[in-house]
Amino acid sequence: MSGNRSLFHKLSCLVLGLMLMMAVSMTAAASENATSSKEYLDTLNVGVAATASAGTATAAAETTGDDSMAVDENATSSKEYLDTLSAGVTTILTPDIVNETSGEQYLLGMSAGKSVDSGTFRGTGKKGTDAKEEEESDLVMADVQNALNVRAEASEEAEKVGLLYKDCGGRILERKDGWTKIKSGDLIGWAKDEYLLFDEEAESLAGEVGNLIVTIETDALRVRKEPNTESGVFALIAQDDELDVIEVVNDEWISVDYQDEVGYVSAEFVDMDFHIDAGETMDVIRAREKAEAEARAKARLTANQGAVVAGADETRLLAALIYCEAGNQGYEGQLAVGAAVMNRVRSGAYPNSISGVIYASGQFTPAYNGRLARAYGNNIPDSCFTAAQESLNGGTNIGSATHFRRAGSHEGLVIGDHVFW
DSSP letters spanning 309-349:
---HHHHHHHHHHHHHHHTTS-HHHHHHHHHHHHHHHHSTT
pLDDT of residue 262: 96
Beta carbons within 10 angstroms of residue 202's beta carbon = 23
For the beta sheet containing 418-420, the strands, ordered from the edge strand earlier in sequence to the opposite edge, are 404-406, 418-420, 413-415
- Would you say the C-alpha torsion 226, 229, 235, 240 has a positive or negative sign? positive
pLDDT of residue 98: 30
CA angle 275, 270, 112 (to 5 degrees): 40
User: Is the Cβ–Cβ distance between 418 and 328 less than 8 Å?
Assistant: no
pLDDT of residue 97: 29
pLDDT of residue 215: 92
Burial 252-268 (b: 16+ CB within 10 A, else e): ebbbbebeeeebbbbbe
Query: Could you give the residue ranges of the DSSP H alpha helices within 112-266?
Result: 199-209
SS3 label, residue 266: strand
Q: How far apart are alpha carbons 57 and 255 in whole angstroms?
A: 69
**What number of H helices and E strands is found in the chain?**
12, 18
User: Is the Cβ–Cβ distance between 418 and 326 less than 8 Å?
Assistant: yes
Cα 355 versus chain centre, distance: 64
pLDDT of residue 23: 54
- The DSSP bridge partners found for residue 281 are 162
Q: pTM of the prediction?
A: 0.53
pLDDT of residue 124: 27
pLDDT of residue 175: 96
309 secondary structure, DSSP code? -
End-to-end CA distance of the chain: 162
User: Is the Cβ–Cβ distance between 236 and 221 less than 8 Å?
Assistant: yes
What are the pLDDT tens digits along the chain (421 aa)? 445 555 555 556 565 666 656 654 554 444 444 443 333 333 333 333 333 333 433 333 333 333 333 333 333 343 443 343 334 333 333 333 233 333 333 323 433 333 322 222 222 233 333 333 445 679 999 999 999 999 999 999 999 999 999 999 999 999 999 999 999 999 999 999 999 999 999 999 998 998 889 999 999 999 999 999 999 999 999 998 989 999 999 999 999 999 999 999 999 999 988 889 999 999 999 999 999 999 898 888 899 999 999 999 999 999 999 999 999 999 999 999 999 999 999 999 999 999 999 999 999 999 999 999 999 999 999 999 999 999 999 999 999 999 999 999 899 999 999 999 9
| Cα R_g (the chain), whole angstroms | 49
Q: How far apart are alpha carbons 413 and 382 in whole angstroms?
A: 25
pLDDT of residue 42: 37
Residue 145 half-sphere exposure toward CB, CA atoms < 13 A: 0
Identity at 309, one-letter amino acid code: V
Q: How far apart are alpha carbons 79 and 396 in whole angstroms?
A: 100
Q: How far apart are alpha carbons 322 and 372 in whole angstroms?
A: 9
Instruction: With CA atoms as reference, report the closest residue to 46 among 84, 72, 93.
Output: 84
Instruction: With CA atoms as reference, report the closest residue to 265 among 235, 234, 224.
Output: 224
User: Is the Cβ–Cβ distance between 257 and 237 less than 8 Å?
Assistant: no
The angle, 0 to 180 degrees and rounded to 10, between the axes of the packed helices 67-86 and 49-64 is 160
Instruction: With CA atoms as reference, report the closest residue to 154 among 130, 179, 172, 123.
Output: 179
Q: 293: which residues sit within 8 A by CB, 6+ positions away?
A: none
